[in-house]
C-alpha cells in the first residue's frame, strides 16, 4: 500500500492511530496525558524537521539529468564516463544563490551555484562550480572573512554595504568578479538561462600518464537571459521562488533545459611559462589562448520527488574525483577539498554519502568505513578491516591523478611569479568588452551600492580598484558615486 492510497494512519513504529484530531486528556477538558504517545511523538518529530542549512548556497533547487559525450577525449583523460562518443551518464544538478538563507528570494544579484554530480561507473564525480568563470578571492584562508561580509552583520542583522565594500576594496583581487557580478549577468532570469563553469583549473590525465590542465564551461542552450535591477526587485517581491518554480515547471512540461559542455585544455608543460598563474581563480584563460573544445551535452529531465531528501540532503564535494581527473594546485580548490566533506559530516551526518541522492548509482561504495549515526548495516557480516585473509575490497595501486612535481621551501606566500599576475587586467578586459548600455548599467549598479557606505574612504578605495582596471571605468564610477552621495 502506498502513502497515496487510503489506509490506516500509524505511529512511526507502525501502530494504528485512533484519533489524530484530539489529544488524550484526563477527563473531558482535563490536562493532556503523557501516555498519548502518538501526540508526543508527533510534536517531537516536528521539532527535529530541520537540519543546519548550508553555511553558503543555502537556497537552491535541483534536478536529475543526463550527460552525453559527443567527442572523443580519450587522448586527454582516461575517465571512463568520458571514454566513448555517445556514452550517457546520469547526473544531478543543484543550482543555488550564495549569500541568502534557506527561505530567501531567488531573483537577487548574487553568483549562482552550479553543482553537478555525475553518477559514473567509477563512483560519483562532483563538479561544484558557479555561473561565473572566476571568483572574488584566490586563497581559501580569506573565504570565511569574505562570506562574513556577504552575510548578516552581527549587530544589525542585515547585509551591510560598509562590510561588503570594505572587504572588496581591501581585496583588489575581487575586481574582476565584482565587475562580472554587477554587470547584466549578475541577476539571471532563471536557472535555465545561465552558463555554468567549473571555474577552477582541474587535472585530466590519460592512459599514458600525460597531464593536461582543463577548465569546464556549460553554455546554456536556452540562451543567456537576465533581469535588470528594477525587474529583479519586482520578481523577488512578487515571486520569491521564481527560479525554483521555473525549473520544476519546465521539466514537468517536457521542456528539458540543456547545456553544451566545453573544455579548455592546456598541456601541463605550458603552465609554468604561461603569462599568468593558470591556477589563479580570479582569472579566465582567454579563449584566444585556449579555445573551448565541445565535448558533450547536459540535459535536465527529471524533478526530484522530495525536496528535503534529494535537494536539502544532497551533498557535493570538489574532492569527489574519479580515475583520470584530479585537483590542480589552485589554493582555493585545495581549501575546498577539505571544506565540503567537513560541512557534510556536520550538516547531514557521517552516513550522508549513502542517502539515495548521494550514493553511487552506477558503482558500489566498497569501503571498510562502518557504523556511526543512522548506519543501515549495509555491509552485513563482511570483515571490517583490511588487509585481511577473507577477501573483500582491496586497493588498486593506481592513483586517480598524476603526481605534481614541486620545488621550494614551505611557508605562506603570495609572491607573483608570472608576468601578468596582476588583479586588474582581466577586469578591464571585461569592462572594455561591454556595450555602452551595458557599461552604463554596470556603473549604475555599482554606484547605487557603493554610495551606501558610511565612510568616504571606503568608497574611494573601492572606486580606486575599478580605476586601475580601466581609467574610464574609474572616472565614470567616481562621478556616479559622488552624484549619489552629494
Ligand atoms: P572572449 O571574447 O574569447 O570571451 C568572452 C566571453 O565573455 C564569452 O564566453 C562570453 O560568453 C562572455 N561574456 C559576454 N558578455 C558578458 C558579460 N556581459 N558578462 C560576463 N561575461 C560575458 O574573451 P576572453 O576569453 O579574452 O575574455 C574576456 C573577458 O570575458 C574576461 O575578462 C572575462 O571576464 C569574460 N569571460 C571570459 C570567459 C573565458 O573563459 N575566457 C568566460 C566568461 C566570461 P558567451 O559566449 O556565453 O556570451
Ligand atoms: C557550498 C565552502 C568556494 C561553489 C559550500 C559549502 C561550503 C563551502 C562549506 C556548503 C557545503 C554543504 O553544506 O553541503 C567553500 C570554501 C570555498 C568555497 C571554503 C573557498 C575556499 C567556492 C567556489 C565555488 C563554490 C570557488 C564555485 C566555483 C559552491 C557551490 C555550493 C557551495 C555551488 C553549493 C553546493 C550544493 O549545491 O550543495 N561551499 N566554498 N564554492 N560552494 Fe563553496
Tell me: the pLDDT tens digits for 99-131?
A: 999 999 999 999 999 999 999 999 999 999 999
376 contact partners, CB below 8 Å, separation of at least 6: 351, 354
428 C-alpha to center of ligand 1: Å? 12
Catalytic residue chosen out of the listed positions 124, 130, 195, 205 = 130
CA end-to-end distance (rounded Å), the chain: 70
- Three-class secondary structure of residue 481 per DSSP: helix
The preferred substitution site among 286, 429, 438, 470 for testing ligand 1, maximizing ligand atoms within 8 Å of CB, is 286
32 C-alpha to center of ligand 1: Å? 66
Please state the pTM of the whole predicted model: 0.97
140 contact partners, CB below 8 Å, separation of at least 6: 331, 332, 334, 335, 336, 339
Q: Which pLDDT score, from 0 to 100, does residue 418 have? A: 86
CA distances from 423 to 30, 323, 385 (A): 72, 34, 50
Residue nearest to atom 33 of ligand 1 (CA): 430
Q: At the topology level of CATH, where does 60-134+190-358 sit?
A: Catalase HpII,  Chain A, domain 1 (2.40.180)
Ligand with minimal distance to 339 CA? 2
Is there a catalytic annotation at residue 176?
A: no
CA distances from 47 to 42, 55, 130, 195, 352 (A): 9, 21, 34, 39, 21
The number of the ligand 1 atom at minimal distance from the alpha carbon of 220 is 47
219 C-alpha to center of ligand 2: Å? 21
What is the spatial distance between Cα 151 and Cα 149, in angstroms, rounded to a whole number? 6
Yes or no: say if 384 and 392 are a contact pair by the CB < 8 Å rule.
no
What is the spatial distance between Cα 253 and Cα 83, in angstroms, rounded to a whole number? 32
Question: For helices 456-469 and 175-182, what crossing angle results, to 10°?
Answer: 90
What is the spatial distance between Cα 215 and Cα 395, in angstroms, rounded to a whole number? 30
Ligand with minimal distance to 276 CA? 1
- Three-class secondary structure of residue 184 per DSSP: helix
93 C-alpha to center of ligand 1: Å? 23
What is the spatial distance between Cα 62 and Cα 307, in angstroms, rounded to a whole number? 8
Catalytic residue chosen out of the listed positions 22, 45, 47, 57 = 57
Query: Nearest CA to 288 among 187, 426, 400?
Result: 426
| Planar angle of CA 266, 322, 383, nearest 5 degrees | 155
The number of the ligand 1 atom at minimal distance from the alpha carbon of 195 is 47
Which cell goes with 400?
A: 586517480
Q: Which pLDDT score, from 0 to 100, does residue 416 have? A: 66
Phi-psi region of 220 (alpha: psi -120 to 50; beta: other; left: phi over 0): beta
56 C-alpha to center of ligand 2: Å? 7
If you search the block for the grid coordinates 547536459, which residue do you land on? 298
Q: Which pLDDT score, from 0 to 100, does residue 411 have? A: 87
What is the spatial distance between Cα 453 and Cα 207, in angstroms, rounded to a whole number? 55
What is the spatial distance between Cα 42 and Cα 454, in angstroms, rounded to a whole number? 49
Written as tens digits, the pLDDT of the chain (486 aa) is 788 899 999 999 999 999 999 999 999 999 999 999 999 999 999 999 999 999 999 999 999 999 999 999 999 999 999 999 999 999 999 999 999 999 999 999 999 999 999 999 999 999 999 999 999 999 999 999 999 999 999 999 999 999 999 999 999 999 999 999 999 999 999 999 999 999 999 999 999 999 999 999 999 999 999 999 999 999 999 999 999 999 999 999 999 999 999 999 999 999 999 999 999 999 999 999 999 999 999 999 999 999 999 999 999 999 999 999 999 999 999 999 999 999 999 999 999 999 999 999 999 999 999 999 999 999 999 999 999 999 999 999 999 999 999 988 888 876 667 888 999 999 999 999 999 999 999 999 999 999 999 999 999 999 999 999 999 999 999 999 999 998
In this predicted model, what pLDDT tens digit does every residue of 27-53 receive, in sequence order? Answer: 999 999 999 999 999 999 999 999 999
Which cell goes with 411?
A: 611557508
- Ranges of each domain in the chain: 60-134+190-358, 425-485
Identify the burial level of 269 via C-beta atoms within 10 angstroms of its C-beta, where 0-12 means exposed, 13-18 middle and 19 or more buried. exposed
The DSSP output letter for 201 is -
Q: Which pLDDT score, from 0 to 100, does residue 415 have? A: 65
Residue nearest to atom 21 of ligand 2 (CA): 140
Is there a catalytic annotation at residue 57?
A: yes
Ligand with minimal distance to 425 CA? 1
Query: Could you count the other beta carbons within 10 Å of the beta carbon of residue 17?
Result: 14
Amino acid at each position: 500500500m502506498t502513502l497515496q492510497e487510503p489506509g490506516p494512519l500509524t505511529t512511526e513504529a507502525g501502530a494504528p492511530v485512533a484519533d489524530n484530531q484530539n489529544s488524550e486528556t484526563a477527563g473531558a477538558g482535563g490536562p493532556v496525558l503523557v501516555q498519548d504517545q502518538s501526540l508526543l511523538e508527533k510534536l517531537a518529530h516536528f521539532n527535529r524537521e530541520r537540519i543546519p542549512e548550508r553555511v553558503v548556497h543555502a537556497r537552491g533547487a535541483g534536478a536529475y539529468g543526463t550527460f552525453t559525450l559527443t567527442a572523443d577525449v580519450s587522448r586527454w583523460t582516461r575517465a571512463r564516463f568520458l571514454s566513448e562518443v555517445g556514452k550517457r551518464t546520469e547526473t544531478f544538478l543543484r543550482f543555488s544563490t550564495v549569500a541568502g538563507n534557506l527561505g530567501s528570494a531567488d531573483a537577487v544579484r548574487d553568483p549562482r551555484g552550479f553543482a553537478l554530480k555525475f553518477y559514473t561507473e567509477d563512483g560519483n564525480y562532483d563538479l561544484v562550480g558557479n555561473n561565473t568563470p572566476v571568483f572574488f578571492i584566490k586563497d581559501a584562508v580569506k573565504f570565511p572573512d569574505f562570506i562574513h561580509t556577504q552575510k548578516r552583520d552581527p549587530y544589525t542583522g542585515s547585509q551591510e554595504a560598509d562590510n561588503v565594500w570594505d572587504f572588496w576594496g581591501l581585496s583588489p583581487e575581487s575586481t574582476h568578479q565584482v565587475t562580472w557580478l554587477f554587470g547584466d549577468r549578475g541577476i539571471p532570469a532563471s536557472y535555465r538561462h545561465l552558463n555554468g563553469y567549473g571555474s577552477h583549473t582541474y587535472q585530466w590525465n590519460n592512459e599514458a600518464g600525460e597531464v593536461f590542465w582543463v577548465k569546464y564551461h556549460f553554455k546554456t542552450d536556452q540562451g543567456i537571459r537576465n533581469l535588470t535591477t528594477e525587474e529583479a526587485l519586482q520578481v523577488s517581491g512578487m515571486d520569491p521562488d521564481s527560479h525554483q518554480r521555473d525549473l520544476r515547471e519546465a521539466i514537468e512540461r517536457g521542456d528539458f533545459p540543456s547545456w553544451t559542455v566545453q573544455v579548455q585544455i592546456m598541456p601541463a608543460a605550458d603552465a609554468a611559462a604561461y603569462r599568468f598563474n593558470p591556477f589563479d581563480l580570479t582569472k579566465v584563460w582567454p579563449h584566444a589562448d585556449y579555445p573551448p573544445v565541445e565535448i558533450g551535452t547536459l540535459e535536465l529531465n527529471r524533478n526530484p520527488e522530495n525536496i528535503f531528501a534529494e535537494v536539502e540532503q544532497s551533498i557535493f564535494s570538489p574532492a569527489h574525483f574519479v580515475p583520470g581527473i584530479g585537483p590542480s594546485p589552485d589554493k582555493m580548490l585545495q581549501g575546498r577539498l577539505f571544506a565540503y566533506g567537513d560541512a557534510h559530516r556536520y550538516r547531514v551526518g557521517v552516513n550522508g554519502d549513502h542517502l539515495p541522492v548521494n550514493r553511487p548509482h552506477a558503482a558500489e561504495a566498497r569501503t571498510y568505513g562502518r557504523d556511526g549515526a543512522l548506519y543501515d548495516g549495509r555491509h552485513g557480516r563482511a570483515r571490517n578491516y583490511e588487509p585481511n585473509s577473507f577477501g573483500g575490497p582491496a586497493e588498486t595501486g593506481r592513483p586517480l591523478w598524476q603526481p605534481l612535481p614541486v620545488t621550494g621551501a614551505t611557508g605562506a606566500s603570495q609572491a607573483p611569479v608570472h608576468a601578468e599576475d596582476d588583479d586588474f587586467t582581466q577586469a578591464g578586459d571585461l569592462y572594455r568588452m561591454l556595450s555602452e548600455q551595458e557599461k552604463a548599467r554596470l556603473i549604475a549598479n555599482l554606484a547605487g551600492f557603493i554610495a551606501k557606505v558610511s565612510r568616504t574612504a571606503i568608497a574611494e578605495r573601492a572606486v580606486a580598484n575599478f580605476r586601475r582596471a580601466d581609467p574610464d571605468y574609474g572616472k565614470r564610477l567616481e562621478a556616479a558615486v559622488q552624484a549619489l552621495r552629494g
